[in-house]
Amino acid sequence: MTILVLGATGKTGRRVVSALDALGVDYRPVSRRTEIPFDWTDESTWARALDGATAVYLVPLAMNLDDAEVAAFVPQAVAAGVRRIVLLSARGISPDDGRERAVRASGVDWTILRPTWFSHNFSEDYFLPEILAGEVALPAGGDGAHPFIDAQDIADVAVAALTQDGHAGVAYELSGPEALTFGDVLARIGEVSGRSIRITEMPAADYTGMLVERGFGVAYAEVLSMSLTAMRDGHDAALSDGVPSVLGHDGRLFGDYVKEAAGIWA
């Protein structure tokens, strides 16, 4: 068994690689920067990455809502001998979404992971530059909470689905064990880092415009803005049961994540 890990330098892919390594399972980590490169935008890189692979941890491009590349990749993976696909999707994605459809129609064992927003967006991505600058802009909303999930919990569920039986044909809704507001989150990060971090409220359209200026595609910027607005309006606080049902625990607490990541904000 060789597991191809896409997005292997990213927040969940890196953790999937470490866990597979610890298990002694054969794997091939790929991204644009790995020894064997894989680029979603360059189909000529796919065959070498897939050579000999029997399973795939499929991490689609975040910035791109066009699912055409996933729809093209899945049949190539199956033709190359892949028999199991674990797709990283997202909470709120419709089952009609192109990437989920492609995986369900693959004809091989599939598992879909639909996580909430990752805690690690605060320390490895997305919100980090603003936290370090002391001011986080957000689309204006109320004070709604969200159950941010630790990327390690997603990776652990992915590894279970990649290496164990009993997960085929299942879409797991994944969340952290507690819902927190951005105010709570930034206060906790402020406490461990000694930083003062302000929230700047923006109308959703301005927020979308700011993301586009930062290089996000318009459609993706709109989705992020809508998702953050819904979250802050209190429409995205529900906990999901995927982590307890697969891992047998409630998921890592945000407070523990903050302690682990403290050095990044120091």
Ligand X SMILES: NC(=O)c1ccc[n+]([C@@H]2O[C@H](COP(=O)([O-])OP(=O)(O)OC[C@H]3O[C@@H](n4cnc5c(N)ncnc54)[C@H](OP(=O)(O)O)[C@@H]3O)[C@@H](O)[C@H]2O)c1
Task: Mark 56-95 with x for binding to ligand X (rule: CB under 6 A) and - for no binding.
Answer: ---xxxx-------------------------x-x-----
Instruction: For the CB of residue 130, give the shortest distance to ligand X in the complex, in Å.
Output: 15
CA distances from 256 to 35, 69, 160, 177, 259 (A): 33, 37, 22, 12, 5
Binding ligand X by CB under 6 A: which of 27, 46, 117, 182?
A: 117
- Reading the block at residue 239, the tokens are 């906990």
Positive or negative CA dihedral for 59, 231, 146, 91?
A: negative
Please say which residue, 5 or 55, places its beta carbon nearer to ligand X: 5
Backbone φ, ψ for residue 47 (5° rounding): -65, -45
**How many residues sit in the footprint of ligand X (CB under 6 A)?**
25
Stretch that binds ligand X, among 110-118, 135-143, 183-191, 197-205 (CB under 6 A): 110-118
Q: Which residues pair with 54 in a beta bridge?
A: none
Instruction: For the CB of residue 165, give the shortest distance to ligand X in the complex, in Å.
Output: 25
Binding ligand X by CB under 6 A: which of 2, 9, 54, 163?
A: 9
How far apart are the C-alpha atoms of 69 and 234, rounded to whole Å? 34
CA distances from 262 to 118, 178, 254, 266 (A): 16, 20, 12, 6
Task: Mark 22-61 with x for binding to ligand X (rule: CB under 6 A) and - for no binding.
Answer: ---------xxx----xxxx-----------------xxx
Please say which residue, 117 or 182, places its beta carbon nearer to ligand X: 117
DSSP classification of residue 52? T
Please say which residue, 32 or 259, places its beta carbon nearer to ligand X: 32
Q: Which residues pair with 146 in a beta bridge?
A: 180
For residue 172, give every residue at least 6 positions away whose Cβ sits within 8 Å of its Cβ, in sequence order, or none.
111, 112, 113, 114, 157, 161, 242, 245, 246
Instruction: For the CB of residue 176, give the shortest distance to ligand X in the complex, in Å.
Output: 11
Please say which residue, 31 or 193, places its beta carbon nearer to ligand X: 31
Stretch that binds ligand X, among 6-14, 137-145, 196-204, 206-214 (CB under 6 A): 6-14
Q: Does 260 bind ligand X (CB under 6 A)?
A: no
The SS3 assignment for 137 reads: strand
* CA count, 13 A, side-chain hemisphere, 90: 17
Stretch that binds ligand X, among 7-15, 136-144, 192-200, 201-209 (CB under 6 A): 7-15
> Which residues would be at the binding site for ligand X (CB under 6 A)?
7-13, 31-33, 38-41, 59-62, 88, 90, 115, 117-118, 121, 125
